[in-house]
Every structure is written in C-alpha cells, then in structure tokens.
Amino acid sequence: MVAAGAARDGEIIIAESQTAGRGRYGRKFFSPPGGGVYLSAVLCLEKLPAGEPALITALAAVSVCEALEAVTGKSPRIKWVNDIFLDGKKICGILTETVTEPGSGQRFAVVGIGVNLFMPEEGFPEELKGIAGAVYPFTARSEPDLASAVKNRVIAEIINRAAGFGDSRGAVYTIETMDKYRKRLITPGETTLP
C-alpha cells in the first residue's frame, strides 16, 4: 500500500515481485519474481470522472483486458468486479483503495494490479493450483527475451489505457468503458456495481 503523502497524483510504482501482495478482504496475492506485472497507480479522486473505487476498479479491469488483447491476441474475461480470467483460471487481480492525505484532506485512489504473465518458477502454491493461471504456459526464465519484451509492452499498454481515467469527456468516457466492461463479464447478468 502506498501511504498518503508518499506519492503524487499519476505516479506509478512497478515491482518485480511483492512480499505482501493482497487482494480484497485481505487475501494474499501470490506475486513471485519474474512471473508478472505488479503495479500500483496513485490517482487523485477529484480529477477522475469516476470517483468511486468500484468504478475505478472496473475501468482498470478494462485497461488490463485491452492491454493483454493488444499484446497477446488472447481474450481475457472479467469476473465481477476485480478478477480477470483466461482459460478458466485467474490471471489478474485488481484492488482499489482510497486514502486521505493528512492536512490537505485530498483523497486519492491507489489501484493495485497484479497480472500473472508467466508460470512461476516453482509453480503455484498447492492452494492456488486449481484457481490461478498465467497468460503464458511457460516460465519467464525459459524464454527470457520474449518475457522481457512482453512484460514491458503489457506495462506500457496498461499505463496508456489507464491514462484515459482523467479523460476530459468525463461521464461519456466512463459510460463507454463500462459498456466494454459489461461485454467482458464472465457472467453477463452481473452488471451492477456495489
């Protein structure tokens, strides 16, 4: 988690791995070295057309899906509200939390995104084997040049798409993106955000 006051609006923190990655309800998110994309973006809520955390999460989910589609040609789907699946396995988790800066009272959203691009060197832990998957069925170490290129491009694609969060068209942008979100839902009936 990025502490309020420690980062500025628009800053993006990218990690090679996480020792305490987590998702909703404090669940652990397995983020081993070399296996994926782990990033957090700090966004000023007052500048966003969609200031609610659930809407920001949905916008982030669309950004990740579009990035993976552009880079890999694969078609990931969204499990409401913050998980992305491919071939029946979870490949990405997104967590949006809000923080208030002491003194100024300015509110920020911190959007954490973890994408399993490659299989972990040691495999997934036993409790995740039936749930977690990766975009590619091999390890980053087995295809280092491809892994590096794919990882960098996925990061760039996510950031470029997420830059639209502050789009001057505001509500129009949010409606367009939510339409894309609904079309990618694994269960199409689940379209209502909390």
Q: Which domains does the chain have, with CATH numbers?
A: 12-184 (3.30.930.10)
From residue 81, how far is each of 55, 57, 101, 148 by CA, in Å? 9, 7, 26, 29
pTM for the whole structure: 0.84
Distance CA 74, CA 166 (A): 27
Distance CA 118, CA 136 (A): 5
pLDDT (tens, 9 = 90+) of the chain, 194 residues, equals 445 455 678 789 888 877 666 655 556 667 778 789 999 988 887 776 655 677 888 889 999 999 999 999 999 999 988 899 999 999 999 998 888 878 777 788 889 999 999 999 888 889 888 899 999 999 988 988 889 999 999 999 999 887 766 665 555 567 788 889 999 998 755 444 43
Tell me what pLDDT residue 104 has: 76
The most distant pair of C-alpha atoms in the chain lies apart, rounded to whole Å, by 50
For tokens 């994926």, name the residue: 36
Tell me what pLDDT residue 22 has: 60
Distance CA 63, CA 107 (A): 22
Quote the DSSP letter at residue 185.
B
* Strand ranges (E), 87-174: 89-100, 107-116
**Phi and psi, residue 36, nearest 5°:** -170, -160
Tell me what pLDDT residue 75 has: 95
Distance CA 180, CA 176 (A): 7
Distance CA 176, CA 27 (A): 31
* Helix, strand, or coil (residue 170): coil
- Computed on alpha carbons and rounded to an integer, the radius of gyration of the chain in Å comes to 16
Tell me what pLDDT residue 191 has: 46
N- to C-terminal Cα distance for the chain? 23
Tell me what pLDDT residue 194 has: 39
- Alpha-carbon torsion, ordered 177, 77, 85, 78, to 10 deg: 40
Tell me what pLDDT residue 15 has: 86
Tell me what pLDDT residue 9 has: 80
